[in-house]
A and B are shown apart, each in its own frame.
Chain A
Amino acid sequence: MSRINDVGGVVGFPAVVQEPDEPPFHADWEAHVFALNGALIKAGVYNLDEFRDAQERMDPQAHLAASYYERWFTAITTLLAEKGVATPAELGG
């Protein structure tokens, strides 16, 4: 069964919006989330496929509502909890 990320060919999405002179990250925390993920994969806490899976199994509504790096951070904290690196309370918002 396809998941919410599998949007190829799905109808109903609007026109593509380009942002002129877009920066690589729109906020510092996005850069930190990006780098944190690389560091955790490098450290063997989880692998790239597990990371993608953790994003793809987000609640569909939450997935669509989240920004790109919010999805990344959700996946990171999901995996840190599942791997027993930290408790959900420690990772909580």
Chain B
Amino acid sequence: MSSDHGSSAISERVRRVEALLEQRGVIAAGEVDRRIEEFLAGGSPANGARIVARAWVDDGFRDRLLADANAALPEVGLSMAGGIQEQRLKVVANSATEHHVLVCTLCSCYPIALLGPSPSWYKSEAYRSRVVRDPRGVLAEFGTTLPDDVRISVWDASAESRYMVLPVRPAGTGSLSETELAALVTRNGLIGTALL
């Protein structure tokens, strides 16, 4: 936690506004703390990884997921309805010839329910401005180099629509269980800035 002057000034101001809103009954006492706990205990890339592992082992689920992700998520006990409003989810599948990568050029829309809090780079102007113009160059900054003949699609999320990448199942994983497969899936793999 930063303790420089700028940070402590805003910290103090946030505390004052929060107290004022509680005092006036606009928000309930303790609601902010409860929401923080809930959020930190909620989404994590493990959720997205669970979806991917199921899709790798179950072709029927994979088809349903790609056709209508919102309808398929309850099969693995997940939902896009937990936030401020239900969000439409589209899952996009990588292949040997096609790679997908996610962005929100306007702000920071991200499938929090499935991936947890987004990393700062996802919210940065650098990523948001450049990945739509030069996806190969930006992917290279993540150490991800794709053959020239692999087509790259960039998906721009919005307040109503979120995306998640279904990565290619790594070779030589035929004997792994669904749980072991889920452990191979990384956050950046689900965003599309990394391969698995």
Note all chain A residues with C-beta closer than 8 A to B105: 6-9
Also in contact, A18 and B159, with CB within 8 A (given A7-B129, A36-B17)? no
The answer to whether A93 touches B13, judged by C-beta atoms less than 8 angstroms apart, is yes
Closest B residue to A9 by beta carbon equals B133
Contact A15 B126 (CB under 8 A): yes
With beta carbons under 8 angstroms apart, the residue of B9, B13, B39, B128 that contacts A8 is B128
Could you tell me the dominant secondary structure of chain B's interface residues? helix
In this assembly, does B132 line the interface, its C-beta being within 8 Å of a C-beta of chain A? yes
Q: How many B residues touch A, CB cutoff 8 Å?
A: 51
Whether A16 and B17, one on each chain, are in contact in the complex, defined by CB atoms closer than 8 angstroms, is no
Interface size on A, residues (CB 8 A): 53
Q: List A residues 19-38 near B (Cβ within 8 Å).
A: 19, 22, 24-29, 31-36, 38
Other-chain contact of B129, A9, A22, A33, A91 (Cβ < 8 Å): A9
Which of B107, B116, B126 interacts with A17 by CB under 8 Å?
A: B126
Q: CB-CB < 8 A to A85: which residues of B? A: 21, 24, 26
Q: Are A16 and B142 also in contact (CB < 8 A) when A7-B128, A24-B40, A27-B11 are?
A: yes
Q: Which residues of B contact A (CB under 8 A)?
A: 1-2, 7, 9-11, 13-15, 17-18, 20-21, 24, 26-28, 31-33, 35-36, 39-40, 84-85, 103, 105-108, 116-117, 119-121, 123-130, 132-133, 138, 141-142, 156, 159
